[in-house]
Structure 1
Amino acid sequence: MKLASVLVAFLCMARMDAATANSFVVGVEEIDYYPLHSYANGKFSGYGRDLLDAFAKQSGHSFIYTALPVSRLFHTFLNDNSIDFKYPDNPSWQADLKKGKAVLYSNPVINVMEGLLVKPEKIDQLSETSIKSIVTMRGFTPWPFEQAMRQKVNDGTIRVYQEDSFRKVITLGMTGHYDAVYASPIVINYYLDEVLHKPGALVFDRRLPFESNDFSLSSIRQTDVIKQFNEFLEKNQPLIMELKRKYRLTDKSVQ
């Protein structure tokens, strides 16, 4: 009994030490969206990881990264206290799920263009009325569509196919069996150039709907840390630019 009491006391002290050490859990997307962010082979990497690690090091915090599928991550973040922060996040994403939730967003850490990419021979050939099929990552929603196009998605006139692997999304897009791929051209171009070695196999079509998304760090409970993170972003612009150059995020050709 005495040993049990000692163990209980030790565990309580360990939990208190962990709390005072400012250790937080960051929920991240279990997808390979490199170079923006990636969770592959049990490791979180990319621009988002480097930026969050730099903030943690400078502030004295410790981040533990937990990866979940995109849709499940939203539900867990909003309804389960096991996650302190979500990255990336945006007020427009899953807005219906967030109703009644006091989510605080950091200042943007990067602005990302997302839209439709097509095979080169289809560039400027498609329109909002002629698109019939799109392939994208599971949990992604083609937000830039106007209400009329969203209605077509909802009623099945425009079919949206979702895959768990981003590599599979790109491969399917390259077959020509789908009209377009919905994603960031930054990610598409990286995969085509560095992974598949097929540069230009898909092309960003600016005549089709696209949008500019801010990626932020969000939290429901750790609002003070979000404020600290905003200060970090404001005071460390040279570091942020260095990280963007490291991951080729300043190259306008990828947008």
Structure 2
Amino acid sequence: MLTKTLLCAALWLGGPLAAAHACEAARGGKFSIGVEKLQYLPLHTVDANNRYGGYAREVLDAFAAQHGYTFEYVPLPINRLYSRFLSERTLDFKYPDHPQWREDLRAGIQLSYSKVVVSTEEGAMVLPQQRGKRLADLRTLGTVLGFTPWPYKAAIDSHALKVSTVGSTDSLLRLVLGGHLDAAYVNVDVANHMLAGDLKAPAGLVFDPGLPHARSDFRLSTLRCKEVVEQFNRFLQREQGMLQLLRASHGIGEAGSNGR
């Protein structure tokens, strides 16, 4: 109780600088980051042993190393992750995040967001012979549970398009490969990586740029450690060269090349 009182007094007297020291002092440089329990390579992934990996892990670990921080990655299903972060508030950070994701859950909550960690394409993956169809020709669209296909909102709301949700990206892609769904709304980098790897079907599905699509910006967010996010922003600015090389090594940014 005394520690909490002293921290509150420091925040009141010292403003943002005191807040920075208070946040770090309260956690001893150790922070929890809630992450999505998904196979989402090359961007991020959680393996069978519940270990977090991929591009995001390498970026966050590099930042932590520069500042002497220790990050504990807490993999959770997407809906449970939102609950732990926004309702129960038992996590210091969430990654990935974006102010427009699940706006209903974050209404009235003051979050701090980092600059963009990675920006990739999200859109419709279809069978090669189906590429070039009009949106009006689509009847079924699949997405992963917890994701919202925003570019298709009008078609969904008008009931012109039926949406199915599944628990994993590989299951979703298999449904489209098998002709059970017309298209999968998914991250294109992730889909191409999974098609070439686990599914052994490189180019079995292709990105259709003629259908609605959008850039997806992934950020780090926090409720209570804004100053660490500001440090992270400076890291992202300072290490642009390293991050560019890291993205290239993971094949990030090549998405959609088979459909443009």
**CA separation in 2, counterparts of 1:103 and 1:75?**
15
**1:111 match: secondary structure:** strand
Distance 1:29 1:190 in 2: 18
Partner of 1:13: none
| 1:151 pairs with one of 157, 163, 188 | 157
Quote how far apart the aligned CAs of 1:71 are: 1.6
Alpha-carbon distance between aligned partners in 2 of 1:40 and 1:181, rounded to the nearest angstrom:
23
Measured against aligned partners, the alpha-carbon deviations of 1:123-179 in whole angstroms (never above 9, x if no partner) come to 002x2222221112110110112x531413xx5x42221111221111111011111
Distance in 2 (alpha carbons) for counterparts of 1:87 and 1:182: 20
Aligned length: 234
Match of 2:44 in 1: 37
| TM-score of the aligned structures, taking structure 1 as reference length | 0.87
Structure 1 alignment gaps of length 5 or more: 1-16
- RMSD between superposed Cα atoms in Å: 1.7
1:3-42 → structure 2 map (5 Å cutoff): 19=26, 21-41=28-48, 42=50
**Residue pair 2:207, 2:258 contacting (<8 A) in 1 also:** no
Structure 2's unaligned 5+ residue stretches are 1-23
* Aligned residues of 1:189 and 1:254 also touching (Cα < 8 A): no
Structure 2 letter corresponding to 1:212: R
Identity value in percent? 37
- Residue equivalent to 1:57: 65
**1:133 partnered with 2:135:** no
Could you tell me how far apart the structure 2 residues matched to 1:56 and 1:29 are? 19
Which string of whole-angstrom CA distances, capped at 9 and with x for unpartnered residues, describes residues 45-99 of structure 1? 1001100000001111110000111122112211122111000011111012111
Range with greater deviation from structure 2 (157-166 or 202-211): 157-166
Match for residue 81 of structure 2 among 70, 73, 79: 73
Q: CA deviation at 1:26?
A: 0.2
Q: Residue 174 in 1 paired to residue 177 in 2?
A: yes
Q: CA deviation at 1:111?
A: 0.7
2:200 is aligned with 1:197 = yes
